[in-house]
Amino acid sequence: MMELRKIKNKGQARLFESRYLEMLTKTHPLIIWGMYLPLIIYMIYYSYAVLWFAAGTIACLFAGALLFWTFFEYVMHRFVFHMVSENPRLKKLAYMIHGNHHEYPRDRQRLFMPPVPSILLAASIFGIMYLLMQNIAFMFFPGFLFGYLIYGSIHYAIHAWNPPFPFMKPLWRNHHLHHYKSEEKGFGVSTSLWDRMFGTFFD
């Protein structure tokens, strides 16, 4: 588990002394959607119009990637964002990646990964997918990326507003309990499926 800090419902963490680097740690959901939605649309179009994949094939791979995203989200949140280490540098890295969010859960400017590290990570993931899947990556990656956008938007909404629909209340509850009751449970944000499967769901 990460080093515990007192939860503050106002303010935000200072991650860098430089105001320019500090500025790069913040973003708004619309900026991330504006970056990636055109890419998602283009890659789907490219798969159909240039690579000549059937619409059904594209839809199935896109949907499969959405499901894979939810698993990826769970694994990253549980084992990377909440990594345990006595190494001071790794502790600092864990705080920059996720610990600051637990200390300042209502900081809306850090609920999405900011553009620069987001682009670098997305490019790396696409590169790995292309090495493993070749042209299939042009259909799988957009679904994975769209899963990230949905996850980020739900995460933003959970910390910013009350649930808009009754069926969404369990997601809100699961994530708020993760923040305010136990950081060792409730790792799913866009779905609690993997928490239920791996025994980390709140009773």
Contact 2, 80 (CB under 8 A): no
pLDDT of residue 3: 53
Look up the pTM and report it.
0.92
pLDDT of residue 51: 97
Q: Counting Cβ atoms within 10 Å, is residue 203 exposed (0-12), middle (13-18) or buried (19+)?
A: exposed
Place of tokens 């999405």: 112
pLDDT of residue 138: 98
Tell me the average confidence (pLDDT) per consecutive run of 10 residues in the chain, 203 residues long: 68 86 91 98 97 97 98 95 84 86 90 93 97 97 98 94 89 93 93 95 88
Contact 114, 28 (CB under 8 A): no
Strands (E) in 2-57, as ranges, are none
| Alpha carbon distance 167, 94 (integer Å) | 33
pLDDT of residue 88: 85
| Burial state string for 160-194 with b = 16 or more CB within 10 A and e = fewer than 16 | eeeeeeeeeeebbebbeebbeeebebbbbbbbbeb
pLDDT of residue 94: 83
pLDDT of residue 152: 96
| Alpha carbon distance 73, 79 (integer Å) | 10
pLDDT of residue 4: 53
